[in-house]
Every structure is written in structure tokens, then in C-alpha cells.
Amino acid sequence: MLGNSFIEQRGNKVAVLTTLVPEEQFDTLIDKTNAIINTYRINPDARVP
């Protein structure tokens, strides 16, 4: 498996995003994986119970 992890903080919210793909598919899936990563957003106004 190959992948990346990202940590982001917005206000009092922290997100950890990890993506993993089988190593032999990494080169063919990198563009799709990047598209998914680039759509991820933290809503700093979200309520935390």
C-alpha cells in the first residue's frame, strides 16, 4: 500500500485525511486520488457534540 496523510486545522476543528491505494495501482490512481483530496473541506462552523 502507498498513500499520503494530511492534517489540517480550522478554528477548533482538526481533520486527519489518509488515502491508501495498492502499490501496483498507485501510478494509475494518483490523478483520481488527488481529485478526491482536493475536494475535502473542513467546515469550521460545524457543531461538535
Domain membership of residue 49 (yes or no) is no
Q: Are strands 13-21 and 2-10 parallel, antiparallel or unpaired?
A: antiparallel
Q: pTM of the predicted model, to two decimals? A: 0.66
Here the contacts of 18-25 (C-beta below 8 Å, separation 24 or greater) are none
Domain membership of residue 10 (yes or no) is yes
Domain membership of residue 15 (yes or no) is yes
pLDDT in tens, 2-29: 998 999 998 888 999 999 999 999 999 9
- Cβ pair 15, 8 in contact under 8 A: yes
Residue 42 has pLDDT above 90, yes or no: no
Q: Which domain holds residue 18?
A: 2-39
Predicted confidence at residue 32, as pLDDT, reads: 93
The count of domains in the chain is 1
